[in-house]
Structure 1
Amino acid sequence: MFKDHAKIIHAISSAGEINGRKKLQKMIYIAKKLTFPFQEKYQFHFYGPYSEELTLRVEELCEMGYLNEVREKRAGYYQYCYSITDSGRDFLSMHEMDLPTLEPCLCDMNKQNARFLELVSTVLYFDTLEKDEVMEKVFTLKSKQKYTHEEMNEAYEYIKKLKEKAKL
């Protein structure tokens, strides 16, 4: 149980600070698809892959004092920012993590916006399909996002870049 919690703390610690619940969800999903050992189950939801397990684990970690959750008001909505606490660092020091390529991947993802990570995670969710079928799914399921063919190609290139960083 605590090993899975430690992985989430390690991920947030590696990224520094993650701004947004949606962004956190997408980063962990993408990392999982890159074969990093995250155990949370995902299903397709309004904003792409979503894990209720991850939401619950993050809430538990905040309640235990291992993660900070700061609610910030942004243009008409609230955004939640996550960072590790000193107690979280202490907890992490008791759980050795041997994931050397995880940090550069998460840091790179953290520089991207949530909309792009939503696209990347959606592409990865349908990774058993051919590219043209994935594009059709994205244009249908994510029609409100108005993704372009150029953005789709950027998502595929980004996935390729992340796989190289993860040394897959």
Structure 2
Amino acid sequence: MSFELNIIGTCSENTDFKSVYIPFISFANKEQKIAIEDYISQQVDDLFKKICPSVNKTQLCYSQIITEKDFKKIEISYFYKNFFDDLERDSNGKLNLKIKWSISFDEKCTPIKLAYLSPDYRGHELKPKSLSYNDAKGRLHRKYGTIEINGFPIFYYIYFTLQEILDVIK
């Protein structure tokens, strides 16, 4: 092709994205932005109520997230700046991590699927018929992934689809 389609733009150089594999997405007006952020916030709250209800969590700016491709070339200062800058000690001197999260459009970063297992299950079936990956409304549970230190999650990637985001603004 010798002509430019001008459908997909590129991130300007003054935008501080840490990964070249993270898409830059924007919409036409502030109302769409608010609707999407409200939706994401509610979905994230619902997920954390299911997986760890008492966790102290904060959002990591979307432009600061990285993918598995970035791990080999990212500097260690990235982790200190984004995950450990707000460490605090409790009254016993134990470190309290504040769990970070951000959305992801990359399924490879979010391999964990929640499932519902009926209370009637007694553990004798290898593949229980009462196992479901849908919530009470029939929708698939939200997928997520983590970055862990010593088996303890310090960051959660929370999977959203672009179609899901578009449905919210429509």
How does the TM-score come out when normalised to structure 2?
Answer: 0.26
How does the TM-score come out when normalised to structure 1?
Answer: 0.26
Greater fraction of residues in strand: 2
Over alpha carbons, which structure has the higher Rg? 2
Larger relative contact order, structure 1 or 2 (CA cutoff 8 Å, min sep 6):
1
Greater fraction of residues in helix: 1
